[in-house]
Structure 1
Amino acid sequence: MNDSKQRFSTRVEDYEKYRPSYPNSLLKKILEHTGSATIPVVADVGSGTGIFTELLLEYGAEVFAVEPNEEMRHAAEVKLIGNSKFVSKNGSAECTGLLDDSVDLVTAAQAFHWFNNQETKAEFARILRENGRLALIWNDRKYGEGCQAAYEDVLKKYATDYSQVNHQNLSEQQLASFFCNNEMDTFSFINTQEFDFEGMLGRLRSCSYCPKESSQDYQAAVAELKTAFEKYSVNGRVQFEYDCKLYIGKIQC
């Protein structure tokens, strides 16, 4: 498997354009757990193109966006550099470059499965202040029926290492082991996207496991998705549904 820190270097434009954002209800739930009227100082780790970082900033947080991939980090900087509370950091989950006891909240949106290890746990514990929280967030695409089921079948057939890197390989028991006394609170929120056909292809291309566009596998995937889109689209659009998951708790006991 390619280095996880470089896997998205050629996916940045599609990632920024076609990946889903996150519902406001999730941000409000995080506020409840931090016990603050506004989200405090945050390290958004594996921040990518800044999709979740931007929401944190809109909620008034000061955000250190920690991202090791140069291309993705640059995309976030172009979008967010005008916000005085945004700080871009060339760092990783294992080495954020942040000071000891410097943040109230660590977030990892659509990223934790790339760095679930003891080095990361130690680093998060180091940078979190007393009573700080860790929030792990994923948009879990529903396999469902219709076009979403067809999309999942295409991934299983043609995506290079989809089964190996799918974040759903992480069990809730494995996630809980990252938290103090294996205790975390779990929440689920509804999230949706709508696509025309080009948008659905962009969603595929945004994934690190998408086959190269020059490959026969990619062409076969496009053909099958086209058939599914024509079958299931309504007024030229299809809808993707997600269970947006939040796992939140303390690392330090």
Structure 2
Amino acid sequence: MPSADATTRFSDRVRNYVLYRPGYPSAVLDVLRQETGLAPSHAIADVGSGTGISARLFLDAGNTVHAVEPNADMRAAAEAALGGDPRFHSVAGAAEATTLPDASVDYVVAAQAYHWFDPPAVRREWLRILRPGGWMVLLWNARRTDTTPFLRGYEALLHAHGTDYASVNHENVTPERIAQALGADFGRRDVPSEQVFDYEGLKGRLLSSSYAPNEGHPGHKPMLEALERLFREHAENGNVRFEYDTQIYWGRG
């Protein structure tokens, strides 16, 4: 099971998470249609669904989404944003213990979350809730770290000021760890995406991250001072650009 810290560490960051975290490009749906046959009739279990960013992607595609999230504050944000859609179902559960019935969904999706999970436990649970022939999908918006001077500076800032950035970075997830959930014969494709921020947006994006020290922490002020310097140095027309590779992994249950 995930640690208590993994379950609760975003509770004080919900507003910034809602406002500044990237969504997922529609190209994700195109890939899943091509590679797995995703159709609007399919039911999705979105595990570790957070504030509903990935749930929105699948709702927009016509799917029914069971959004499974253990953090009450993040779950409430998703309910506020998406609760008016009759195809959205909020579930208080964990990736390893979803509470969903046996063979109840066609896809299990974990977006920006799998690195917090216990792989053997989630595979058992996901196989339990999947219908025969169902699919398991992992998504990440992987921020590029060295394609521009700004992105190189931002990465250096995280290493200098993040509380535990190196240890919780999802890039630590190896192909072997992915195979523990998806099986050895998993597929992968990447599609590009981006965000453009003014300074307030950049600050909100940083503070949405669990490793960024919040107000009251001794590292908070020095981090923001460094962020302001970085922004002044690299902003063009008042903005900086985050570039992402949206990573899509899939495996049959």
For the criterion TM > 0.5, the same-fold answer is yes
> 2:46 & 2:194 partners in 1: Cα distance?
23
Q: Which residue of 1 aligns with 2:164?
A: 161
8 Å Cα contact 1:195/1:237 also seen in 2: yes
Q: Which residue of 1 aligns with 2:79?
A: 77
> 1:37 & 1:164 partners in 2: Cα distance?
37
CA pair 78-24 structure 1, distance change in 2 beyond 3 A: same
Q: Which residue of 2 aligns with 1:225?
A: 227
8 Å Cα contact 1:150/1:225 also seen in 2: no
Q: Which residue of 2 aligns with 1:9?
A: 11
8 Å Cα contact 1:31/1:38 also seen in 2: no
Structure 2: which 5+ residue stretches go unaligned? none
CA pair 171-85 structure 1, distance change in 2 beyond 3 A: same
Q: Which residue of 2 aligns with 1:48?
A: 50
Query: 1:94 deviation in Å?
Result: 1.1
Structure 1: which 5+ residue stretches go unaligned? none
Partner of 2:244: helix, strand, or coil?
strand
Structure 1 residues 223-245: Cα deviation after superposition (integer angstroms, max 9, x where no partner): 11111111111110000000110
Q: Which residue of 1 aligns with 2:236?
A: 234
Q: Which moved more, 1:29-38 or 1:170-179?
A: 29-38
> 1:131 & 1:63 partners in 2: Cα distance?
18
Superposition pairs of residues 34-183 of structure 1, within 5 angstroms: 34-38=36-40, 40-144=42-146, 145-180=148-183, 182-183=184-185
TM, length-normalised to structure 1: 0.95
> 2:99 & 2:135 partners in 1: Cα distance?
19
- Give the AA of the match of 1:157: A
> 1:16 & 1:109 partners in 2: Cα distance?
15
> 1:211 & 1:179 partners in 2: Cα distance?
34
8 Å Cα contact 2:122/2:181 also seen in 1: no
Query: 1:39 deviation in Å?
Result: 5.6
> 1:18 & 1:71 partners in 2: Cα distance?
16
> 1:70 & 1:232 partners in 2: Cα distance?
38
**What percent identity do the matched residue pairs reach?**
42
Across the aligned residues of Structure 1 and Structure 2, the Cα RMSD in angstroms comes to 1.3
Partner of 1:105: helix, strand, or coil?
strand
Structure 1 residues 25-78: Cα deviation after superposition (integer angstroms, max 9, x where no partner): 111211223324426100000000000101100100000000000000000000
Number of residues paired by the alignment?
250
Structure 1 residues 129-153: Cα deviation after superposition (integer angstroms, max 9, x where no partner): 1110001000110012322111111
Would you identify which runs of 4 or more consecutive aligned residues in structure 1 move more than 4 Å?
none
Q: Which moved more, 1:219-228 or 1:80-89?
A: 219-228
8 Å Cα contact 1:107/1:137 also seen in 2: yes
Alignment partner for residue 25 of structure 1, among 21, 24, 27?
27
CA pair 36-210 structure 1, distance change in 2 beyond 3 A: closer
TM, length-normalised to structure 2: 0.95
8 Å Cα contact 1:44/1:63 also seen in 2: yes
Partner of 1:177: helix, strand, or coil?
helix
Structure 1 residues 71-117: Cα deviation after superposition (integer angstroms, max 9, x where no partner): 00000000111101000000001110100000000000000001032
